[in-house]
Structure 1
Amino acid sequence: MPVRSTSDPRLPAHYELTRSQFVFSSLSLASAFLLLGVFGLRIAMRVDLRQWWVPLAVVSGIVVADFASGLIHWGADTWGRDDLPVIGRRLLVPFRVHHINPEDLLRRSFIDANGDPAFLSVSVLLGLFAVPIETVWGGPVAVCGFALCGIGMMTNQIHQWAHMPSPPWPIRTLQDCGLLLGRAEHAAHHERPYDVHYCITTGWCNRPAEAIGFFRRLEAAITHLTGVRPRHDDRRYEERYGVPALPAQPRHG
């Protein structure tokens, strides 16, 4: 059943996990942390971490995680309806709700918020165990993948921290240093029509993506091929909850 906002019960809210979803998310998180630890030990035993390429591989993994978070966020914000099987309730509804009621994210539990990214990380980590770490290319791929999964599985938690007025001081320090998505960086996304700054892990990819119009061009191509307009379901949510319509002229031409 839905968890209703304590500040305004008229606002939309996410749905509580069912018992089976709670078990699945819990197992996903436990598996992800276990596999990440085992894979990290495997790297430490087989890779000389003093090599020059190690920092580059770590940064590359973080950048890939941030960009992947942007692609998933953009896809969930922009396409599909909340009544789609499987992904509608678990993926699309939380994003639609989040735009109308941003504070709802703060009421999601750790397991609820992070179970799905953990499941994706488990899938990637299992594949990474097949990488021959001792080879010239295998070491960098393994380190990059470790960084990708390590920060990527925490994307929703990082997003939640970015909405907290007073996150824990270590998190605030990382936000202030630009190593994690911060409140000010993420605020741009919450300006209607919610079509900028999709990357929510570190936020590093937001400005480059906007500079080249990456998501706008991708939307234009999809609309040209399919005839489907972006963010049509977001507008339906806004109408349902009485949010005034935007001018007909889009912000990005």
Structure 2
Amino acid sequence: MNFLRVLFPSPFKIHRLIEVLSVFLFLIFSALSIWKFGLLAKSSFFDSYLFLSLRLLGLLLSAYITADFLSGFVHFLGDSFGDENTPYVGSAFIFPFRDHHVDPKGITRHDFIETNGNNCLVSLPILLYCFYAPLESGIFPWARTFWILVLIGIFFTNQIHKWAHQDKPSKVIHYLQKKRWILSPDHHQIHHTTPYDTYFCITTGWCNPLLHKIRFFPFVKRMIRSIINVLSFSNTNKHRSL
């Protein structure tokens, strides 16, 4: 009963139920996917152990970096476009990003489900596709496994982000932050400095220095705004012609 109260604090909300189901299904299918990944690796033992180890290491590292980049791109979109009144995504997607700058410590008051539920909800359909896709020969099984690992990295992103805002994380988490294996508080503080327009990546932060140096996000922002302006101008002329 107490466990249910933790999962479903009153008042009961449908979105909370969806988050709980998303987290449980994501964890279950992630574990099953890793098991299938193990079978795939075992079937590859005709390769040398060194070659297989290098392949696995490259897969894990590239997936981890990709998760970091994607965390930054989604974070950038949430910070840069629309508002809480934007249809469909305003309250659930954009508002949490904007509110986080008003109350950066707010994320530390979220429980495990609230912290990770939305990421699981978005990632679950892709994970299910990757899990149920036929196990064929060639490069596809490895590409599918790559995206499963990316999704697992994305799953941990909000939790890592939460740890970066905690005053006293556990010793293990502090060690990982210090070694830069996950996002560290001092690195993330760069993003929380006005005008909040850089260092968006929040899994490890590894991508941030390069993306900042080449001004990747300002370029993308200009491109998206140009496209929006062109579409708005086109729609305006279309209505005038009617």
For residues 152-189 of structure 1, the C-alpha deviation after alignment (integer angstroms, 9 at most, x for no partner) is 11211110001011111111111111111110110000
**1: CA distance, partners of 2:12 / 2:114:** 10
Note if contact 2:29-2:131 (Cα within 8 Å) is conserved in structure 1.
Answer: no
Structure with more helix by fraction = 2
Unaligned runs of 5+ in 1: 1-15, 229-253
Q: Tell whether the 8 Å contact from 1:196 to 1:210 is kept in structure 2 after alignment.
A: yes
Match of 2:16 among 17, 22, 41: 22
Q: Distance in 2 between matches of 1:159 and 1:202?
A: 9
Task: Give the corresponding residue for 1:166.
Answer: 168
Tell whether 2:39 aligns with 1:37. no
Contact 2:130 2:145 in 1 (8 A): no
SS in 2 for 1:55: helix
Contact 1:189 1:196 in 2 (8 A): yes
Counterpart of 1:97? 99
Tell me what 2:193 maps to.
191
Deviation for aligned residue 1:223? 2.4
Which SS does the other structure have where 2:58 is aligned?
Answer: helix
Do 1:180 and 1:201's aligned partners in 2 also have CA atoms closer than 8 Å? yes
Letter in 2 for 1:136: G
Cα RMSD between the aligned structures? 2.0
* CA deviation after TM superposition for structure 1 residue 137, in Å: 0.8
Q: Return the TM-score normalized by structure 1.
A: 0.79
Amino acid at match of 1:207: P
Structure 2 CA distance for partners of 1:59 and 1:131, relative to 1, 3 Å: farther
Q: Is the 8 A contact 1:53 1:140 kept in 2?
A: no
Q: Which runs of 4+ in 1 moved over 3 A?
A: 130-134
- Give distance in 2, aligned partners of 1:137 and 1:197: 33
State the secondary structure of the residue aligned to 2:169. coil
Change (3 A) 1:61 1:174: same
Does residue 123 (structure 1) correspond to residue 117 (structure 2)? The answer is no
Aligned match for 1:217, one of 211, 219, 239: 219
DSSP-derived class of the 1:201 partner: coil
Deviations 1:61-90 (A, max 9, x none): 111111111111000000001112332111
Q: Is the 8 A contact 1:17 1:112 kept in 2?
A: no
d(CA) in 2 for partners of 1:130, 1:89: 32
The alignment-based identity, stated in percent, is 29
Q: Please tell me whether the aligned partners of residues 120 and 153 of structure 1 are also in contact (alpha carbons under 8 angstroms).
A: no
Where in structure 2 are the equivalents of 1:22-171 lying within 5 Å? Answer: 22-48=16-42, 50=49, 51=52, 52-171=54-173
SS at match of 2:199: coil
Please say if residues 47 and 139 of structure 1, whose CA atoms lie closer than 8 Å, have aligned partners that are also in contact. no
2: CA distance, partners of 1:189 / 1:161? 15
How far residue 111 of structure 1 moved from its aligned partner, in angstroms, is 0.8
Tell me how far apart the structure 1 counterparts of residues 148 and 220 of structure 2 sit (CA, whole Å): 29
Distance 1:149 1:105 in 2: 21
Superposed CA deviations along residues 38-71 of structure 1, whole A, max 9, x for unmatched, are: 1111111222375131110111111111111111
Q: Give TM-score scaled by structure 2 length.
A: 0.82
Residue 133 of structure 1 deviates from its aligned partner by 4.3
For residues 141 and 220 of structure 1, the distance between their equivalents in structure 2, rounded to whole angstroms, comes to 32
Task: Give, as a single letter, the amino acid of the residue that structure 2 aligns with 1:54.
Answer: L
